[in-house]
Amino acid sequence: MRQPPSGGAGYGAAAADTGLMSIGTVLNVLRDEFPEVTISKIRFLESEGLVEPRRTPSGYRKFSAEDVERLARVLRMQRDHYLPLKVIREHLDAMERGEAAPLPVLGRQREGEAVPAVPETPTAARIGRAELLAAAGIEAGDLEEWESYGLVTPLADGVYDAEAVTVASLVSELGRHGIEPRHLRVMKAAADREAGLVEQVVAPLRRHRNPQTRAHAEARTRELAELTARLHAALVQTALGVRLP
């Protein structure tokens, strides 16, 4: 199992007393710094080889403190520096081999130009079209088709929310199982209805005169989004008669 580079954010200390952790416990540990992380996101990062948890004989994931440290590093580099997963994996692997590995910078650097400084304060996580294609491992034609079905949508300035990488990767994975983008329109419609329901609940908070109440709307939106996503997943599992680890 991989060992994380030194200099973690203290997640190892948080996990040391409990030993191996379930994926639900890992989610709770990470959520203080990464409130939008989900179980699906953790599973996706595992599928991309960014973390390798142990498996119990019954197939359940068990994460070590080192696994949680590595997940935090990956999420931090995605959030703060918008790096594709392939670049993040290569960077961490190089550090684990003891190599001097400066943090990569997206974009081309002209000869003679100084490497631009990485911003210390994180901003909204966005990703360009080329970075999205590279991170999700897809072709431009695939992305254009998914956009035509509304599964992936660019923002007003032509870039994408970083979560588009997760969406694109999952659509690609479903495609390998014979589920085509046109089949996923029902999922997109359901997601839009669920989002509309959450918007109805938080809209009065966003319009409130009290600034603290308006600020609370964002936290309430995240909380309701997580609850609706968990309910949706539970309903699908119940309908199929399966239980995911």
pLDDT band at 101 (very low <50, low <70, confident <90, very high): low
pLDDT higher than threshold 50 for residue 42: yes
**Residues with Cβ within 8 Å of residue 97, at least 6 apart in sequence:** none
Q: Do residues 125 and 119 touch, judged by C-beta distance below 8 A?
A: no
pLDDT higher than threshold 90 for residue 21: yes
Count the neighbouring beta carbons within 10 Å of the beta carbon of residue 61.
Answer: 22
pLDDT higher than threshold 50 for residue 121: no
pLDDT band at 5 (very low <50, low <70, confident <90, very high): very low
CA 14 to each of CA 49, 65, 69, 103: distance values in angstroms, whole numbers, following the listed order? 23, 8, 10, 26
Q: Same domain, yes or no, for 35 and 75?
A: yes
Is residue 89 included in any domain, yes or no?
yes
Residue 146 burial class via C-beta count within 10 angstroms: exposed 0-12, middle 13-18, buried 19 and up: buried
Q: Same domain, yes or no, for 28 and 90?
A: yes
Q: Collapse the DSSP code of 21 into the 3-class scheme (helix H, G, I; strand E, B; otherwise coil) and give the result.
A: strand
pLDDT band at 11 (very low <50, low <70, confident <90, very high): low
Q: Same domain, yes or no, for 22 and 92?
A: yes
Q: Same domain, yes or no, for 26 and 87?
A: yes
State residue 142's pLDDT score.
Answer: 93
Q: Same domain, yes or no, for 237 and 190?
A: yes
Q: Same domain, yes or no, for 15 and 92?
A: yes
Whose CA is closest to 81, among 46, 98, 105?
105
pLDDT band at 105 (very low <50, low <70, confident <90, very high): low
pLDDT band at 83 (very low <50, low <70, confident <90, very high): confident
How many domains would you assign to the chain?
Answer: 3
Q: What's the one-letter identity of residue 3?
A: Q
- Phi and psi, residue 61, nearest 5°: -75, 140
Is residue 85 included in any domain, yes or no?
yes
Is residue 57 included in any domain, yes or no?
yes
Q: Same domain, yes or no, for 91 and 33?
A: yes
pLDDT band at 9 (very low <50, low <70, confident <90, very high): very low
pLDDT higher than threshold 50 for residue 113: no
Q: Same domain, yes or no, for 90 and 133?
A: no
Is residue 104 included in any domain, yes or no?
no
State residue 141's pLDDT score.
Answer: 93
Is residue 91 included in any domain, yes or no?
yes
Is residue 56 included in any domain, yes or no?
yes
Is residue 116 included in any domain, yes or no?
no
Q: Same domain, yes or no, for 19 and 56?
A: yes
Share of the chain above pLDDT 70, in %: 82
Q: Collapse the DSSP code of 54 into the 3-class scheme (helix H, G, I; strand E, B; otherwise coil) and give the result.
A: strand
pLDDT higher than threshold 90 for residue 125: no
> What's the mean pLDDT in 12-28?
73
Least confident of 175-179, 190-194, 216-220: 216-220
Highest mean pLDDT among 40-54, 75-89, 121-135: 40-54
Q: Same domain, yes or no, for 161 and 193?
A: no
pLDDT higher than threshold 80 for residue 82: no
- Phi and psi, residue 161, nearest 5°: -65, 145
Q: Same domain, yes or no, for 46 and 89?
A: yes
Measured distance CA(133)–CA(141) in Å, rounded: 10
Q: What's the one-letter identity of residue 149?
A: Y
- More confidently predicted of 1 and 217: 217
CA 238 to each of CA 21, 235, 241: distance values in angstroms, whole numbers, following the listed order? 25, 5, 5
> What's the mean pLDDT in 96-117?
55
pLDDT higher than threshold 60 for residue 102: yes
Instruction: Quote the domain boundaries for residue 149.
Output: 123-179
CATH code (residue 175) = 1.10.1660
Is 0.85 topped by the overall pTM? no
Q: Same domain, yes or no, for 16 and 83?
A: yes
Is residue 157 included in any domain, yes or no?
yes
Of the residues 137, 154, 179, the one at which a domain ends = 179
CATH code (residue 74) = 1.10.1660.10
Beta bridge partners of 61: 55
